[in-house]
């Protein structure tokens, strides 16, 4: 039996997954042929199996939900969602590897924000975003992710308002 998630959180995660899969930078990094292929590298809310063929990847996790009562007595829902991008170091030199991963993350984020601003197909409106920068995953805490870089980007979203 397959359970289809239809709640606000699941719909928001699905829309963010669509936006990430449409990023040309993400498609290129995953070596996917198109957005459909890139979706195979986007996981919600966790990565079930830590297999090398599932990386690079994006992991989407919810941080919170809020609702505001409008003048028409309906709720406009929005929330915060975390996008984690993960990939192996692609260069032996640590500075080069970190710069490469940072460029990848900046490219994906820029394309998501542009998609949020211009897309008229009902995706998310990203109201703000923040991150604490790129990190090298500590292999003593998670040996399966040794030599991997990650970034957690917090996105505050609302239903599409374009």
Averaged pLDDT, 120-147: 81
pLDDT number for residue 28: 96
pLDDT reported for residue 137:
83
Output the pTM of the full model: 0.85
Q: Bigger pLDDT: 73 or 31?
A: 31
The domains found in the chain, sorted by start residue, are: 8-158 (3.30.2000)
pLDDT at 125: 84
Q: 4 or 112: which carries more pLDDT confidence?
A: 112
Which range, of 52-56, 67-71, 118-122, 157-161, averages the lowest pLDDT?
A: 67-71
- Full DSSP string of 75-141: EEEEEEEEEEEEEE--SSSHHHHHHHHHHHHHHHHHHHHHHHHH--SS-PEEEEEEE---EE--TTT
């Amino acid at each position: 039996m397959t359970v289809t998630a239809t709640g606000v959180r699941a719909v928001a995660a699905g829309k963010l997954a669509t936006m990430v899969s449409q990023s040309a930078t993400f498609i290129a990094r995953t070596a996917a042929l198109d957005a459909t292929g890139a979706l195979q590298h986007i996981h919600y809310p966790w990565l079930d199996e830590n297999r090398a063929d599932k990386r690079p990847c994006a992991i989407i996790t919810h941080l919170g939900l809020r609702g505001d009562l409008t003048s028409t007595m309906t709720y406009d829902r929005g929330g915060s969602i975390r996008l984690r991008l993960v990939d192996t170091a692609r260069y032996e030199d640590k500075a080069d590897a970190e710069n490469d991963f940072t460029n990848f993350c900046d490219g994906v984020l820029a394309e998501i924000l542009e998609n949020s601003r211009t897309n008229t197909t009902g995706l998310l409106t990203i109201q703000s975003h923040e991150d604490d920068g790129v990190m090298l995953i500590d292999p003593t805490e998670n040996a399966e992710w040794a030599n991997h870089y990650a970034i957690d980007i917090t996105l505050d979203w609302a239903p599409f308002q374009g």
